[in-house]
Structure 1
């Protein structure tokens, strides 16, 4: 499918306006808290790598960052005529998970070459509550090895309790916290095994924070 190009000046204005509205909503309803924002570079390419357990994850990341994002997402969400086009307009990059999607890979690389923020979920899909772990996909390691850009491991806490994949609508109660960890860099030449190990290490950092924060969440 041919990508439609939008005005580079008009798009950020719409994105910022929508992000501001959603940010107010998440802060008021779910007491959105953001930590580690100082770890996000204000300029240049960067990959945001969060856990993915909720339909709220993309929104939580988008409104927590000081910069617009380009997000890789499953192609099914882009197949609705109006919503799909709007998602692309706001920076969505569709991914066909049935096979190696070279178009999505190209879209991610182009975004990084332009110095943008690329959102990639290591787990590749939303995990259900009963499935606590899944083997991370290689994507983050591939992009990091090819482009030599910083990767920010990111933990999203609480969103899975509010709107897990099992539910069609979100709960109106709960808290969301987003924690951006220090940037990590891929070292050496591109190598499939090393890229997989790099991604696994990113996920281990995130899981460590999730375990720690889940205890605090229970106590509160």
Structure 2
């Protein structure tokens, strides 16, 4: 209930102040575990991406944010779960895979941090592990900014990526990197295709 309320409020906010538009919303599967992978250019990206689709999106966020009373309430309401820095890889993987197995949408920003230039950066291989260890839909998305008041910002969602040829019983670092690079390649294609069309 709170998620729906906050999503509606964010949609109004983004429509009024950023005239946001969503392209390709129909590519989000109606149900089932979905890994939604997007570039990262601003702290506003999680609520913008979550506002762009009808299904609830879950995110990981650094644990320190959950110690700030008002912010903690907001990010929990908007589907975030805490991740501790340093040595928490196994727990992150366990929680993320559980969410996908339960049929949730897991939103991830493979670069791990915001791009100061707006250019696509190098991604961590964790997203490749998520994509290969769980039978889920892997959907690329791109936020085309920059965020400027009263200037349009676009969210472009691509078709699910076929990862079947990379999914094996044992996933090694090379497979994870290959899967990650494939995901980032699709995100880059979305960015380039939209720029050429606009």
Instruction: Give me the TM-score of the superposition, normalised by structure 1.
Output: 0.80
Q: Distance in 1 between matches of 2:35 and 2:65?
A: 21
Q: How many residues align?
A: 194
Q: Is the 8 A contact 1:46 1:112 kept in 2?
A: yes
> Given the superposition, is the C-alpha separation of residues 115 and 86 from structure 1 closer, same or farther in structure 2, using an over 3 Å criterion?
same
**Alpha-carbon distance change, 28 to 86 in structure 1, aligned in 2, over 3 angstroms:** closer
Query: Which residue number in structure 1 is paired with residue 191 of structure 2?
Result: 210
Matches within 5 A, 1:135-150: 135-150=122-137
Which ranges of structure 1 fall in alignment gaps of 5 or more residues? Answer: 1-12, 163-170
Superposed displacement of residue 51, structure 1: 0.3
CA 1:135/1:38 → structure 2, altered by over 3 Å: closer, same or farther? same
The worse-fitting range, judged by mean Cα deviation, of 146-155 and 21-30 is 21-30
| TM-score (norm: length of structure 2) | 0.88
Partner of 2:172: 191
Query: In the alignment, which residue of structure 2 is the partner of 1:8?
Result: none
Q: For the aligned residues, what is the CA RMSD? A: 1.9
Runs of 4+ in 1 over 6 A off after TM superposition: none
Distance (Å, rounded) in 2 between the aligned partners of 1:51 and 1:16? 24
Shift of 1:92: 0.7
CA deviation vs aligned residue, 1:39-88 (integer Å, no higher than 9, x gap)? 11111110100000111111111111111111122333223134224423
Deviation at 1:98, TM superposition (A): 3.4
Could you say if the C-alpha distance between residues 99 and 216 of structure 1 is closer, same or farther in structure 2, counting changes exceeding 3 Å? farther
